[in-house]
Chain A
Amino acid sequence: MDESGNLFAQQESNRRRSFWLVTGFIFFFAWVGFGGDIAWYLMTSGPAGGETRAQPLGPLHSPHTVPFIGIVATLLAGAICWYSWNKGADRILWSTGAREIFEASNDQEQRLINVVEEMAIAAGVPRPRIFVVPDPDPNAFATGIEPGKACIAVTEGLLARLNREELQAVVAHEMAHVRNFDTRLMTLLAAMVGAIALMSDGMGRILRYGNVSGRGGGGEGGKGKGNPLAIVILVLWLLTLIIAPIISRLLAMAVSRKREYLADATGAQFTRNPLALASALQHLDEAAQPTRTITQGAAHLCIVDPSGSQLSAHEGWLGDVFSSHPPLRLRIARLRGMGYQLAKQAGQLPAES
C-alpha cells in the first residue's frame, strides 16, 4: 500500500502506526517502572511475612504496597520532559548559532519570509519565528512544543541550493511537524528513553552492590520459595532492564520514522505539490555532507539526518531500525506515488492506449 496511497491515506496510515507504537512504548515503560514493584510486592506479601524471622524487619521484608520504583521512574521522565519542553527549543537554536530574521536583508531572506508566511496560511497556524543557520550544508528543522511557540530554521546552504518551489516544500514539511505536535511527542519519547537508561543504570548498580554486601540472602531465600510467580516476574524484569535502553531507543526511532513519513504527506497536502518535495529531497541526497552545527540531540527534528549517515541510505534491517529518518529513496518513492495519484485525479495523465 505504502508507495501508492494518496496523501490523505498515507497520513491516516502513519498516524495509526505511530499511535500503536507510542501505546506500546508506554506499556513498555510501565513494565520497566512497575515490573520490579510487582515482583517486590509478590515477594514480600508471602505467608511468612517476616514476623516469624529472628532478623529485624527491613525494607526488603515488609509488605511492599507503594510502588516506589514506578513512581521514581515516572517522576524522572516527567522532570526530563518538563525541562526539555520548556528549555529545549532555545538550547537547540542557540547551539546551532542560528540568527533570527526579523527584517529581510536580501532577496533570499525575503523569499524565505514570504514562503514561511504562505505555508503558515496553508497549515492554518500562526507564523512561526524564522531562523537561519550559518552552515553550507542544506538542512532545515523546526522546534517548539506547540504552533504558537514554533521556530523554523534553515541553513544557508539550503537557501542557496533550492528554488522557490522546493524551498516551499521543505518549509511545508517543517510546518507539518509543528502542526502535528511532533516536537512534543519526540521530546516526550526522548525523556522516557532517558529515564529508562538512567533506571537501567541505577538498578544495575544497586543489584551489584546489593549482592556484594549480601543483602539478607538467607531471609530472601526463605520467603521467596513460597512464591514462584514472584521469582519469574523478578527475573523477567531484570532481563528487561538490561535490554531496556536498546529497546526503548528502537521504539523511539520507529516512531520518529513514522512521523517523518507523516510530515512528508501532510506537507504535500499543504502545497498540493508532492513532487516539489521529492525534488528537494533529491538535491539534499546529492549534497550528503554532514551538517556539523546540528548535534545528535536535535537530529530527529531535521528534514534529513544531519550526521550525513550512510545508515539512512541503506534499506536493510539495520539501517531501518536505528535511524531517526527513513531512507531518502523510500521517502522520494512515496512522494512520487502521491504525485501520481494527484495527477490521476486531475486527469492529467495520458490516456491509456
Chain B
Amino acid sequence: MGIVLLVGIVVVALWFVGAYNKLISLKNQVANAWKQIDVQLKRRHDLIPNLVNAVKGAMDFEKSTLEAVIAARNKAVSAAGSGVAQVAQAEGQLTQALGRLFALSENYPQLKATANIQQLQEELTSTENKVGFARQLYNDVATSYNTAQQQFPTNLVAGVAKAAPAELWQIEDAGDRAVPNVDLKMS
C-alpha cells in the first residue's frame, strides 16, 4: 500500500514538472515571436524613407501624402516597445498611409521608368510579407500559450508558473485588413 502511494506521488510530481516546463517553454516562445515582430517592423520602418526618396522626384505634387507616410512611420517608430495594442494600432495606420501612397502612384507612369523599381517592389513585398508572417507566428504561439493555460489539468499549474494570457494582435479596423497592393510594374 505504501509503495502504491509513493508511486502515485512520484507520478503526480513528474506530471507537475512537465506541465510547468511546458508553460514556461510556451511563454518564452511567445516572447521570442514578439521580438521577431519587432525585428521585422524595424526593417519596415527603415525601408520607408528609401521608398519615399525613390518616388519623391516623380510625385512632387503629392507632398501631403508623402508627408503623411513619413509621419505615420515616425509615430510607429515611437510606438515600438509599448504594448501589443498600441503597436498594432500604429502599424495599422502606417499600412493605411502606405496604401494611399501606392494607390496614388498609379497616376504617375514615369515612376515605372525609374531605375531599380523592380528590386524595390520585391523588397517591399518581402517586407510586408515578413511583418505579416511574424504577426501570424506570434498569434499562433500566443494562442497555444493561452490554450495551455486554460486547459485542464495544465490550468492548475498556471498560477505557479505566473502565466498570464498573451494578447493577440487583432486587426481592429477593416481597412487595416487590406494589405497594401504593391504593384509598380509596367502593365
Contacts and interface: CB of A to CB of B under 8 A. Distances in A.
A124 B33 contact: yes
Contacts, number: 39
A156 interface: no
20 contacts: A107-B119, A110-B119, A110-B122, A111-B122, A114-B122, A114-B126, A115-B126, A118-B129, A121-B36, A121-B130, A121-B134, A122-B133, A122-B136, A122-B137, A123-B137, A124-B33, A124-B36, A124-B141, A270-B133, A272-B136
Interface in A148-173: 164
Interface string B4-36: 000000000000000000000000010011001
Tier of interface size on chain B: 10 to 19
Contacts of B126: 114-115, 117-118
Interface in A248-271: 269-270
A121 B134 CA distance: 6
Interface in B129-145: 129-130, 133-134, 136-137, 140-141
Q: Is the interface of B mostly helix, strand, loop or mixed?
A: helix
Interface string A162-190: 00100000000000000000000000000
A110 B126 CA distance: 10
B130 A118 contact: yes
A121 B32 CA distance: 11
B40 interface: yes
Tier of interface size on chain A: 10 to 19
B76 to A, nearest CB: 19
A111 B134 CA distance: 18
Nearest to A115: B126
B136 A124 contact: no
Nearest to A122: B133
Contacts of A118: 126, 129-130, 133
Nearest to B140: A269
B150 interface: no
Given A117-B130, A118-B129, A118-B130, A124 B137 contact: yes
B118 interface: yes
A224 B33 CA distance: 65
Interface string A209-234: 00000000000000000000000000
Nearest to B131: A121
Of A118, A123, A164, A270, most B-chain CB atoms within 10 Å:
A118
Interface of B: 29, 32-33, 36, 40, 118-119, 122-123, 125-126, 129-130, 133-134, 136-137, 140-141
A107 B32 CA distance: 31
A121 B40 contact: yes
Nearest to A119: B133
**Top 4 A-B residue pairs of the complex, sorted by shortest distance between their CB atoms:** A114-B126, A122-B133, A121-B133, A118-B129
Nearest to B138: A124
A124 B122 contact: no
B137 A107 contact: no
A292 B136 CA distance: 38
A213 to B, nearest CB: 53
Interface string A272-312: 10000000000000000000000000000000000000000
Interface string A121-141: 111100000000000000000
Contacts of B32: 124
A22 B144 CA distance: 26
Interface in A87-118: 107, 110-111, 114-115, 117-118
B31 to A, nearest CB: 12
Contacts of A123: 137
Interface string A42-78: 0000000000000000000000000000000000000
A119 B134 CA distance: 10
Nearest to B136: A122
B92 to A, nearest CB: 19
Interface string A241-253: 0000000000000
Nearest to B33: A124
A331 B182 CA distance: 32
Contacts of B36: 121, 124
Contacts of B129: 114, 118
B137 A121 contact: yes
